[in-house]
Amino acid sequence: MFSNKQITTFVYDARDFNFVVNSREENESSFDIILRRTWKQAEEVKAFRYILNIRDSKILKGKYRFLVQLNPDRTQCRRAPELITSMSQPFSSVRFNFTKLTQQEILFDVGNGDTVAINASPLEQNHCLLLTERSKCLPQVMTEYSLCKVIELCLLSNSWSLRASFNSLCANASVNHLHWHLYYLKYEMLLEYIDICGYTSGVHLLVDYPAKGFCLKLSDFKDIKDFVARAFLVVNHLQLRQMAHNVFVTRAKSKSNDELYNDVRIYIWVRKPLIIGMKNMPTFLPASCEFFGHLTVKDENIYNNLTEDDVVNVLYDITEECFVSIKDELRNVLEK
């Protein structure tokens, strides 16, 4: 590591990847250490819009074990989301974008013009953003390069709890500038090990779940490059079809009580577009984290009364029709 204009550059190669991690061990990697240290430093200089204060957390009763957290500060203090009305909305230099971050918000560089910065309105501890090719001012449209980079960062961690997520335009992305979310979530989640079923080479279906979607496992591929390329084929088809989508990356294991996390899963959901201000908004805004089973709510009344059925109904309504409409078409694309 070396310092350039007071921003540390984290240098790594494939020998630093951790393909198997133990949930019972707390051996932080160099990546975990720099992320936690710089995030804490940003907190100390008050770079965030609020000090993270999750008032309460609980697992909803039922088969899906949804995690709900009460975090009213996020709604009250976060920057107003950009009004996004189209999957092809261009990047705007006038509106807020990540070239306007202060030095205090930038944590470190990870090479090639890629930056890790704080999320100024955090959901969880060490919630940060991966900004790939930040200076190119790309809109919030996934690139194969950005997907590869976020997978690499996940593998640099020696923690089973580091997660990554991506919200497309019209799928609850709040800034139209290419970015991924990274954060540690120290709860065992159902989608780490849920059964998935065959679909086509290298791609599985998540169907025994309210938000049906597509899933890829690193263990099905000979290397990271092939894993990423196959996943990006799915995402890019949704982008070309102008279909809103959410993506979540998590460590995975074979069954619930396994100590070893020996796989990585990418989940991809196609969904109804979300237009801020639309009528009949649900009690929570479903995006990648919510599809994964991690819900943040702003209101104590909602927190106290939310049931598994409520969550199931929202996730099903947002995803079912779109999943059914694209499933056969996408298989044809992937089998060509």
What is the set of active-site residues? 179
Which residues in 274-286 are b (16+ Cβ under 10 Å) and which e? Answer: beeeeeeeebbbb
Query: How far apart, in whole angstroms, are the C-alpha atoms of residue 135 and residue 39?
Result: 22
CA distance 35 to 4: 17
- Which of 70, 72, 77 has its CA nearest to residue 50? 77
What whole-number distance in Å separates Cα of residue 301 and Cα of residue 308?
15
| Distance, CA of 322 to CA of 139 (rounded, Å) | 23
For residues 216 and 265, is the Cβ–Cβ distance under 8 A?
yes
Which contiguous run of DSSP H or E holds residue 191?
Answer: none
| CA gap 124, 53 in Å, rounded | 9
Integer Cα distance of 63 and 68 in angstroms: 14
Report the C-alpha gap between 18 and 156 in whole angstroms.
6
Distance in angstroms (rounded) separating the CA atoms of residues 29 and 158: 5
Distance in angstroms (rounded) separating the CA atoms of residues 23 and 259: 5
Query: Any idea what the Cα angle at residue 161 is, between residues 157 and 165, rounded to 5°?
Result: 85
Residue pair 97/183 in contact (Cβ under 8 Å)? The answer is no
What is the largest distance, in Å, between two alpha-carbon atoms of the chain?
53
Q: What angle, 0 to 180 degrees and rounded to 10, lies between the N-to-C axes of helices 30-44 and 144-156?
A: 100
